[in-house]
């Protein structure tokens, strides 16, 4: 199982579209015929609820908290995975709100997600991990387990500092764990036609000249898909952003070595 490609969707800045991008990129990968596991690593559980899994968020132990913090519960991860029409989901849970100090005290506390994913019996082509809006043990776990990151960011000047801080943390992890965390690209999100957005898109292109920069515009359809518990690919409504999400999935497929399954 451990050979599934993995990507962390991360930016410690809140509300930039991590969950929206994660769900829709997962939906696009599914459209391209890949078996997708979606991991909601955010204690807020937005993706879990957004995918219609409120009951799992409120469920009693064992939950993802236990699989991450207790070696003996690691295998329980297999009983936690639930199916969704587009993907399988490893849901977050209310207990995850107290996982950070537990991981700080745990042995190899930043490698727990990797160990949990290795304990999964089902084969997946790709695992998409939605990260919380802060740097800490969970985000470190996601970056280390995935080794790849896709970064959503708003086309606003405050994104510059946020990205600087994220890259600093990636460098710290790389040095500490003698590994490489590959930046697969930046998703400029909720883009509107303003001068600031235009200036920031130019900045993204210049600052990230060696990786792709995609542009997802502000669209209520994306919010409607979230409310309907699915990606835009399952929504019975046209959305002009599907092309861009498919382009992201294409590029991830290429960079992660996924073989496209033609229907």
Q: Which of 10, 30, 46, 159 binds ligand ATP (CB under 6 A)?
A: 46
Tell me phi and psi for residue 88, to 5 degrees: -90, 155
String of contacts with ligand ATP for each residue 103-122, x by CB under 6 A: --------------------
Nearer to ligand ATP, 24 or 120 (CB): 24
Instruction: Write out the H or E segment, with its range, that includes residue 66.
Output: helix 64-69
How far is 24 from 92, CA to CA, in rounded Å?
18
Q: How far is the CB of 100 from ligand ATP (least distance, A)?
A: 15
Is 232:223 a contact under the CB 8 Å cutoff? Answer: no
What does the block give as tokens for 188? 């400029």
Scanning 39-47, 108-116, 179-187, 204-212 for contacts with ligand ATP by CB under 6 A, the matching segment is 39-47
Scanning 62-70, 207-215, 218-226, 247-255 for contacts with ligand ATP by CB under 6 A, the matching segment is 218-226
Residues near Mg ion (CB under 5 A) are 18-19, 46
Helix (H, G, I), strand (E, B) or coil at 191: strand
Residue nearest to Mg ion (CB): 19
Scanning 13-21, 138-146, 158-166, 194-202 for contacts with ligand ATP by CB under 6 A, the matching segment is 13-21
**Residue 97 binds ligand ATP, judged by CB under 6 A:** no
How far is 237 from 92, CA to CA, in rounded Å?
28
**Residue 30's binding partner, choosing from Mg ion, ligand ATP, none, with beta-carbon cut-off 5 to 8 A by kind?**
none
**Residue 218 binds ligand ATP, judged by CB under 6 A:** yes
Subset of residues 124 to 183 that bind ligand ATP, contact rule: CB under 6 A: 133
Tell me phi and psi for residue 213, to 5 degrees: -120, 115
Tell me phi and psi for residue 190, to 5 degrees: 55, 40
**Residue 233 binds ligand ATP, judged by CB under 6 A:** no
Eight-state DSSP code of residue 159: H
Q: Which residue has the tokens 């792709």?
A: 212
Q: Which of 40, 42, 56, 73 binds ligand ATP (CB under 6 A)?
A: 42
Nearer to Mg ion, 33 or 133 (CB): 133
Eight-state DSSP code of residue 213: E
| Percent of the chain that is helix, strand, coil (3-state, to 5) | 50, 15, 35
């Amino acid at each position: 199982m451990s050979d599934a490609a993995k990507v962390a969707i991360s930016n410690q800045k809140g509300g930039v579209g991590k969950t929206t991008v994660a769900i829709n990129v997962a939906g696009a990968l599914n459209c391209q015929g890949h078996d997708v596991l979606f991991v909601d690593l955010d204690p807020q559980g937005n993706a879990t609820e957004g995918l219609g899994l409120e009951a799992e968020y409120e469920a009693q132990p064992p939950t993802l908290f236990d699989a991450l913090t207790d070696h003996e519960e690691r295998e329980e991860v297999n009983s936690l995975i639930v199916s969704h029409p587009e993907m399988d989901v490893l849901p977050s849970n209310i207990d995850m709100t107290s996982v950070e100090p537990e991981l700080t005290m745990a042995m190899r506390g930043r490698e727990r997600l990797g160990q949990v994913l290795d304990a999964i019996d089902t084969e997946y082509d790709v695992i998409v991990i939605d990260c919380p809006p802060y740097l800490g043990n969970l985000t470190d776990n996601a970056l280390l387990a995935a080794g790849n990151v896709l970064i959503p960011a708003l086309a606003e000047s405050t994104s510059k500092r946020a990205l600087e801080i994220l890259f600093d943390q990636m460098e710290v992890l790389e040095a500490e764990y003698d590994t490489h965390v590959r930046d697969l690209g930046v998703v400029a999100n909720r883009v509107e036609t303003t001068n600031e957005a235009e200036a920031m898109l130019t900045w993204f292109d210049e600052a990230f000249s060696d990786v792709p920069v995609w542009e997802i515009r502000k669209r209520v359809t994306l919010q409607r898909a979230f409310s309907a518990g699915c990606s835009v690919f399952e929504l019975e409504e046209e959305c002009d952003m599907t092309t861009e999400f498919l382009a992201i999935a294409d590029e991830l497929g290429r960079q992660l070595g996924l073989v496209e399954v033609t229907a």
